[in-house]
Structure 1
Amino acid sequence: MKNILIVEDNPGVRDMVREYLTEHGYQVRVASNGAEGLLEARHHRPDLVLLDVMMPGMDGLEFLRRFRATEGVPVIFLTAKDTELDKVLGLELGADDYVTKPFSMAELLARVRAHLRRSQETPAGTVLRAGELELDATSRLFHVRGQRAELTRSEFELMTAFLRAPGRVFSRSELLEQLQEEALGSERTIDVHVRNLRTKIEEQPGQPRIIETVFGVGYRLNPGPER
């Protein structure tokens, strides 16, 4: 049984989502703010987090900053904000997806299922390597220059796509398809995830040499020298 953590200060929304997900076979724990959410996550290790943005005390953005320091499980924002800036900020901090309130419970369930399924999928080929990069699909571990790097679920999926085809140019729409077929997204989402990846794998993120931008098209992984 998968463990889902809901961090939401509105008791009506929190209880409605908890009851709905419980009815569909999930074990659900709840917290009313970011500080409580971190305690729950530390003790019960969720498989996925549903995270409100605006909360008293520690808000969702601060929760995500701290949570992403150690955990890579999927995080879906529950947000009343619908501007591109707000969504981009959440993605930059490591969120995998977002739904805007008010939302359909059926849509939320579909996204939860999609992210949980993808977090469990094992791509063909146990270990993928290129240059200074190594990705173990079975253990879901990623190393760069021999050092482990913590990736979010979305970052791991993008890195898998790049490592399956070093040197291939991927359009943003192709990379978006690697993330989630059920969830709505924009090509801007890919730019944010790539920027986050560069901070984790590039020695100089401002002058990337591993994930290269192909202007007017998308991105490619520089194969680098054979190891």
Structure 2
Amino acid sequence: MAHRILLLEDEQAIADTLLYSLRSEGFEVMHVPLVREALAAFALQAPDLAILDVGLPDGNGFDVCRAIRKTSELPIVFLTARSEEIDRILGLELGADDYVSKPFSPREVCARVKAILRRSAVRPAATAPDAAPLQLDEAAQRIRCAGQWLALTRYEYRLLATLLKRPQRIFSRAELMDLVWDDASDTADRTVDAHIKLVRAKLRDAGASADLIQTHRHMGYSLSA
């Protein structure tokens, strides 16, 4: 069955280009130009992934992401002409899986969509948890905390998995950028800090008994043994 994608984009020329590319790759795409239409489409039938423009006539893609994140961990890609660092950080803090700035290559967007869908594919449940506070399932690219699987975005998973593989080892922000992000040159220290904050919150929500991620002033981060 073809993956369903919700495309929120008000510029018809850009939408037509993406529609052609995505459909050529076998995706089923619903295109809407307004925030209210995107929310209505999501409520009617949740897609497998959403591509959200930021600047729209009746709002912005950040608002749509916030609304979706109240009930769903749906993979989200922001597509926008706004390339400032603060906008990228805001999108990631809201739980986006990727951020593509205009102008862009439709083939690159398709490749990113396919990669995200592969990573977020549902896999069979693993065996009962062991006694460790965190359990890494690399095959399914997921992490369990206190008996429940964490709802992590792509970079949240990669960040926590990197720390989990080397407990007590201090990773600098630069090392984490190189190991976790696909294009470290476009990533800033604040992005690492923002993701650490989000992962910590999810660990607390899952019932972690202590702050498992330790901050080492002027050095970086480590995971408690």
| Pairwise TM-score range, normalised by the shorter structure | 0.7 to 0.9
Q: How does 1:35-114 map to 2 (within 5 A)?
A: 35-114=36-115
Looking at structure 2, the residues matched to 152 and 161 of structure 1 have their Cα atoms a distance apart, in angstroms, of 14
Question: SS at 1:198's partner residue?
Answer: helix
Structure 1 unaligned blocks of 5 or more:
none
Question: SS at 2:18's partner residue?
Answer: helix
Residue identity matched to 1:55: L
Deviation digits for residues 95-134 of structure 1 (CA, Å, limit 9, x no counterpart): 1221111212222223223322332497xx8777675445
Looking at structure 2, the residues matched to 15 and 94 of structure 1 have their Cα atoms a distance apart, in angstroms, of 26
Looking at structure 2, the residues matched to 138 and 47 of structure 1 have their Cα atoms a distance apart, in angstroms, of 21
CA RMSD of aligned residues (A): 3.2
Residue identity matched to 2:167: P
What residue is the counterpart of 2:119 in the other structure?
118
Does the aligned pair in 1 maintain the 2:212–2:223 contact within 8 Å?
yes
**Of 61-70 and 162-171, the range deviating more from structure 2:** 162-171
- TM-score normalised by L of structure 1: 0.77
Question: Aligned-pair distance for 1:67?
Answer: 0.9
The size of the alignment, in residue pairs, is 217
Residue identity matched to 2:38: G
Query: CA 1:216/1:151 → structure 2, altered by over 3 Å: closer, same or farther?
Result: same
Deviation digits for residues 55-83 of structure 1 (CA, Å, limit 9, x no counterpart): 12242111111111222232111111121
Structure 2 unaligned blocks of 5 or more:
none
Looking at structure 2, the residues matched to 190 and 213 of structure 1 have their Cα atoms a distance apart, in angstroms, of 12
Q: 1:195 aligns with which of 197, 200, 205?
A: 197
Query: CA 1:148/1:52 → structure 2, altered by over 3 Å: closer, same or farther?
Result: same
Residue identity matched to 2:105: S
Query: CA 1:126/1:13 → structure 2, altered by over 3 Å: closer, same or farther?
Result: farther
Query: CA 1:4/1:172 → structure 2, altered by over 3 Å: closer, same or farther?
Result: farther
Question: SS at 1:28's partner residue?
Answer: strand
Deviation digits for residues 8-42 of structure 1 (CA, Å, limit 9, x no counterpart): 12222122211111112222122222332233233
1:3 pairs with 2:12: no
Looking at structure 2, the residues matched to 89 and 53 of structure 1 have their Cα atoms a distance apart, in angstroms, of 11
Looking at structure 1, the residues matched to 95 and 7 of structure 2 have their Cα atoms a distance apart, in angstroms, of 17
